[in-house]
Chains A and B, each alone.
Chain A
Amino acid sequence: MKWRIVNEGEYSEAMHHAIDEVLTKRLNNGDMQPTLRFWYRPHTSIPMGRFQAYHDEVQDDYIKENDIEVVRRITGGGAMFSEPDNVITYSIYIPKEQVNENIEKSYQELDNFAVKKLNELGVNVSYKPLNDIEHQDGKIGGAAQTRKENAVLHHTMMSYDLNTRRMLKALRIGKKKVSDKAISSAEKRVSRISDHIDHEREEVIEELIQSFVEDKKWEKGSLTSEELEEAEILAKKKFSTDEWNKKL
């Protein structure tokens, strides 16, 4: 079956996670073709891991002052900081039969198109198990998965040009009080695509798409109105609520 490549659509953080849940469910039920979708966001936001507690991961005062949208994912993993135009995020909705049963290998295999392309462009990254994309200067991105009976959701976020200082103000990075020294050492561990190449973000995304479709039948596509309507309802009743986002 042809892959659908969706490279459009600017949505709130909550809506993106609702789309992820809806599309994964539809693929699982056999109601959707395999899909690669790139994310665009209008505001600063933090997607955090499903098993993380809100107050452990974010600086609540800074979040409120700066109107940052925090959403708990349906996947595990850690909290990430996202600013419009400064990250590259994609979701892969893929039939489970096409995914390696070995979870560690499946992470590397599903992000391999991106790791390979980034290296070709001049960003020397490699995969660091379980789910990190690393440059020798620091972490550039991370991935997370969840598995259904017939479908796997694999989403990945990479820093294109993130502001590390703002990130460290918004995230708690697992410390009660982050000292100045801790900030500088954490900062060293982060790297960005724009630190290494001059390509515009859109160009990098186009290159990633070319790399992804190299060995596949594919077509450009959009989300259907049914998919979007279902996701809008879910965004409202789940991913925008404290009941979900601050449950833990």
Chain B
Amino acid sequence: MDGEASVKVPNGKLVKVKVKISENRLEEVNIRGDFFIEPAEALHDLEENIENISVDTNREDLLDYINNVEAELIGFSSEDIVKAVREAIEDGDSE
């Protein structure tokens, strides 16, 4: 199952998340958009840190997984990523 969602940060950037769901786990996560991340390589770590977790992971745990990555998010926040991930999971569920 695939799901995707976009979150527009008020006065800020667009965060697009695509997820591949398999056996209730996030098999693959893509985070895309017109935001900034320093260092840039951390995008991969952000995605990897939430791959293979359960689709039922709660908001706080998701936030922890994102915040565990050493990265500066500019123009958006870890909350925006979590919101987009949860909406993408919902989108996948409803297919």
**Other A-B pairs beyond A51-B31, A52-B34, 16, CB < 8 Å:** A49-B34, A51-B33, A51-B40, A53-B30, A53-B32, A75-B36, A76-B34, A76-B37, A76-B74, A78-B34, A130-B12, A130-B74, A130-B75, A147-B38, A174-B14, A248-B32
> Which residues of B in the span 22-39 have a Cβ within 8 Å of any Cβ on A?
30-38
- Binary per-residue interface labels of chain A (68-90) against chain B in the complex, 1 for a CB within 8 Å, 0 otherwise: 00000011111100000000000
**Minimum C-beta distance from A54 to chain B (A):** 10
B38 touches A51 (CB 8 A): no
Confirm or deny: A117 has a beta carbon within 8 angstroms of a beta carbon on chain B: no
| CB neighbours of B6 from chain A (8 A) | 174
For chain B, the count of residues having a C-beta within 8 Å of the partner chain is 19
Asked whether any CB of chain A lies closer than 8 Å to the CB of B1, the reply is: no
Report A-chain residues with C-beta under 8 Å of the C-beta of B74. Answer: 76, 103, 130
Q: Please list the residues of chain B having a beta carbon within 8 angstroms of any beta carbon in chain A.
A: 6, 11-14, 16, 30-38, 40, 43, 74-75
A76-B16 in contact (CB<8A)? no
Cβ–Cβ < 8 Å partners of A144 in chain B: 36
The answer on a CB contact under 8 Å between B36 and A77 is yes
The number of residues on chain A lying at the interface, defined by a beta carbon within 8 Å of a beta carbon of chain B, is 22
Please indicate the chain A residues that have their CB under 8 angstroms from the CB of B43 in the complex.
51
The docked-state distance in angstroms from the alpha carbon of A76 to that of B39 is: 11
Complex interface bits, A116-150 against B, C-beta within 8 A gives 1, otherwise 0 = 00000000000001110000000000001111000
Q: Which of B11, B12, B34 contacts A51 (CB 8 A)?
A: B34
